[in-house]
């Protein structure tokens, strides 16, 4: 759902607003909160958020701020399609609350593509065994 009065995502500050909004929703979501928050524990949340800011800045603005493996942490989280469906719902809501435009829509498309890729890889390893390379 696009809100014409909302601006498009244009910089890192916008990404921070998006990610912070999403993680706030995630912290209250009955399906996902335990998976993500138990996984991350009570550690350095700002470090994790900085990593996510960097990831989305790299994805949306072709910056080289993210260094890491986006799939591997998710592989070990025992996720299923319904988890990804809920993740996408909350992520899309977080975008639509604050943003509208080409980059906002691109973020939703890229999130959907990542969820398809991750679920496909997770299913492959479940069916065939093995562990992804680091």
Q: Is the pLDDT of residue 42 over 70?
A: no
- E strand or H helix at 24, and its extent? helix 12-28
Q: Residue 5: inside a domain, yes or no?
A: no
Residue 64 lies in a domain: yes
Stretch 127-133: mean pLDDT, rounded? 73
pLDDT in tens, 51-83: 889 999 999 998 776 566 665 665 567 788 999
pTM score, two decimals?
A: 0.83
Give the count of domains, the chain: 1
Residue 132, pLDDT above cutoff 60: yes
Give the list of residues 6+ apart from residue 60 with CB closer than 8 angstroms, or none: 9, 15, 103, 106, 107, 110
CATH number of the domain where residue 74 is located: 1.10.490.10
94 in a structural domain: yes
- Establish if 1 belongs to a structural domain: no
Is residue 79 a contact partner of residue 70, using CB atoms and an 8 Å limit? Answer: no
pLDDT of residue 46: 79
pLDDT mean across residues, the chain: 84
pLDDT recorded at residue 68: 61
Is residue 2 situated within a structural domain?
no
| Residue numbers of the domain that contains 34 | 12-128
Q: Is 14 helix (H, G, I), strand (E, B) or coil?
A: helix
Q: Is 73 part of any domain?
A: yes
Residue with the larger pLDDT of the pair 111 and 42:
111
The reported pLDDT for the residue numbered 110 is 95
Residue 89 domain-assigned (yes or no)? yes
Q: Is residue 90 part of a domain?
A: yes
């Amino acid at each position: 759902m696009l809100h014409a009065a909302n601006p498009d995502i244009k910089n890192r500050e916008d990404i921070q607003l998006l990610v912070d909004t999403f993680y706030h929703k995630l912290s209250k979501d009955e399906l996902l909160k335990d998976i993500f928050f138990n996984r991350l524990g009570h550690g350095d949340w700002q470090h994790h958020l900085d990593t996510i800011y960097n990831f989305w800045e790299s994805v949306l603005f072709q910056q080289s701020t993210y260094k890491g493996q986006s799939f591997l942490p998710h592989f070990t989280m025992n996720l299923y399609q319904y988890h990804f469906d809920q993740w996408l719902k909350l992520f899309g809501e977080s975008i639509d609350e604050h943003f509208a435009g080409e980059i906002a829509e691109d973020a939703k498309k890229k999130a959907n593509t990542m969820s398809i890729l991750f679920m496909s890889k997770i299913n492959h390893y479940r069916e065939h065994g093995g562990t992804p390379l680091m």
